Chain A
């Protein structure tokens, strides 16, 4: 292609290489906060409310619009619920319309409080780190070691010239504090769709309400559909688990996503202990979702192992493993070429963030004694190294 003049626009459709960059996707509606084009192929994406989950999603640095993300969780913990709250809170802050299915309005009051943009939190953390690490002053300019996914993909255009713009630019993702409660004028804008027990599909009413609200809303409104703990028997009637009901609901949801490609996203959590992945029903639910992520929290007895899994005492120990079974867009195309695929991920939920990072096996248990011995004995003290 080098014979082609670079400053001349390529004619559409002729050149295959140019196609991914071309706007194959319908452009996002103007002036929609919280939407930005994917650095991968330019399709509009929105944030899930946790930067490291955004970065996991196959290079799109966000959840592409019109996609369903399914988060499965083993055990009795509620890490997936935290992710869902981030997702809802992010939507509230971006003044998108949130539809929550099946839970009372109380759920909306437990959204995590806003503490700034995600970038501001990142900066703060970096600064704190700089103060502590005096030894590594030489490497300061090389960037944070082991920043991993977050570091490489965060902020797609941190061009030096763009730094001033960044302040003016509305934030894509915000940081939230789980111990605080979100207060935002838009929070009253959330709509809660209750489950109405009926002899027919319990999902029919939900779907109808979603369709009418989304269909009747102005075309620049962005919607988020939040479905916590799908099929949980404390919330859903027994007949909800029948394949014809739940699978038809998913299919219709998918249809809705394709009808409003640039305006709707959905995040759904599913308790795996009740509905194991080895069952045909769950597999169909997964096949109907665009992204499937499984959380496997470590059991409490593994706390000791997990603690030593942290590389340093500063780092928090991972609380569980995260598996990506399917990623939006990537797997629809055939999958496989993303560098994040096939990695072992661990997640850490702290007060302020849900962090996903590569999992590394902790050093063998026996070694810690040896390490301790050497630390107290032969190795020079930290103060000796200070200069």
Chain B
């Protein structure tokens, strides 16, 4: 199989152009995950500056707009994103050092804050460092080495400890309801502002939130969080970024059970999820829907990508978003082939 360009040609226009304050929704299901598409968004925003062919220093895109990305991930670790981006030729750790990229970790310590005593040396940390020639830290110090010289705005032990493995800021869910969401929102905004501090006029900030719907599912009404609160939370974050990309699960039990036509009663987790997902789709400029083939699995097709206009599409002349349905295939080497039905 020939290796594929990092950005599939058919998707380039969709990936690289996000109008001001737009929301893009990526919906995925169990057998068709969205990670590869998120990585393509990362590449579209950051790719040109990190490719080894471009000399360091010429960070601008063709039109002179620098782009920065803040990725908030609730289901996947920094290690995963770093390794997968590397397959695309994108060194996220280096980009993070250059303040072009920031990762906000919603996985490691979201619900359980480890006691400081059990600060076991994370072996992921050392693995990260071996691949980072540009980092100022010595390469072989296991996890608990002296903190790097990053002077975070918030000082104190906590802030420094968090900076250590890779660049991840770790989110914590503490407390109840909207207050807990506010704390996380503040943390993410702090990270966005840290990136913004080095931004020039006209630079764009892309915010990617990977599966915030998990937050909704894992908290629910008993903790005072519903679809409305989540939607407001996203809005709050959206205000701080140029454009926002959101990934959500859209499995049929999570969307369709909510309608009352079914025999079985729908549970709150289903109704709230459906309300959140559909609400987001109404606000989004475009919806990228990932799903598997209806006709069963195929050897040369991983799934179907449907690009459609969301409720937030303005319909203005310059906002020409073509709706289409494409097939995609993920190769073993991580390359993605995107093609129309009937083509190959």
| A interface, CB within 8 angstroms of B | 12-14, 16-17, 19-20, 24-26, 40, 207, 211-212, 215-216, 219, 242-244, 247-248, 251-252, 254-255, 258-263, 277-284, 286-288, 292, 325-326, 331-337, 339, 341-342
Contact = CB atoms under 8 A, between A and B. Distances in A.
Contacts of B84: 333
B257 A334 contact: no
A339 B331 CA distance: 12
Contacts of B334: 16, 19-20, 333
Residue among A280, A281, A331 with the highest chain B CB neighbour number at 10 A: A280
Given A259-B124, A280-B269, 19 more contacts: A14-B52, A16-B6, A20-B334, A26-B123, A215-B114, A242-B220, A242-B222, A243-B218, A258-B79, A259-B108, A259-B122, A261-B79, A262-B123, A263-B123, A280-B257, A280-B267, A288-B75, A332-B76, A342-B296
Interface string B279-306: 0000000000000100011110111000
Given A25-B83, A211-B118, A284 B123 contact: no
B180 interface: no
A216 B257 CA distance: 44
B79 A216 contact: no
B155 to A, nearest CB: 25
Interface stretch (B29-37, B185-193, B201-209, B235-243): B29-37
B46 interface: no
Residue among A219, A258, A332 with the highest chain B CB neighbour number at 10 A: A258
B32 A24 contact: no
Contacts of A212: 118
19 contacts: A16-B88, A16-B89, A20-B333, A211-B114, A251-B74, A251-B75, A251-B111, A252-B111, A258-B80, A261-B123, A263-B123, A279-B270, A287-B214, A288-B75, A331-B30, A331-B33, A332-B76, A332-B80, A336-B301
Interface of B: 3, 6, 30-33, 35-36, 52, 74-77, 79-80, 83-84, 86-89, 91, 107-112, 114, 118, 120-124, 126-127, 131, 214, 217-220, 222-223, 249, 251, 253-254, 257, 264, 266-267, 269-270, 273, 292, 296-299, 301-303, 328-336
Contacts of A282: 253
A287 B108 contact: no
B269 to A, nearest CB: 5
A335 B330 contact: yes
B131 to A, nearest CB: 8
A325 B31 CA distance: 6
A335 B302 contact: yes
A251 B109 CA distance: 9
A24 B83 contact: yes
Given A16-B333, A332-B33, A254 B123 contact: no
Residue among A14, A24, A215, A335 with the highest chain B CB neighbour number at 10 A: A335
Given A26-B124, A248-B111, A335-B330, A341 B297 contact: yes
Given A260-B123, A280-B253, A244 B222 contact: yes
A68 to B, nearest CB: 12
Given A14-B52, A211-B112, A342-B296, A334 B36 contact: yes
Contacts of A13: 52, 86, 89, 91
Contacts of B222: 242, 244
A336 B291 CA distance: 11
The 8 closest A-B pairs by CB, nearest first: A342-B297, A336-B302, A258-B77, A334-B330, A280-B270, A334-B36, A26-B127, A247-B218
Contacts of A278: 253, 257, 264
A35 to B, nearest CB: 14
Given A26-B124, A332-B80, A334-B33, A20 B332 contact: yes
A277 B33 CA distance: 18
Contact of B267 (A215, A262, A277, A281): A281
Contacts of A17: 3, 333
Nearest to B6: A16
B269 A331 contact: no
A225 to B, nearest CB: 15
A221 B19 CA distance: 51
Nearest to A24: B83
A334 B220 contact: no
A35 B251 CA distance: 35
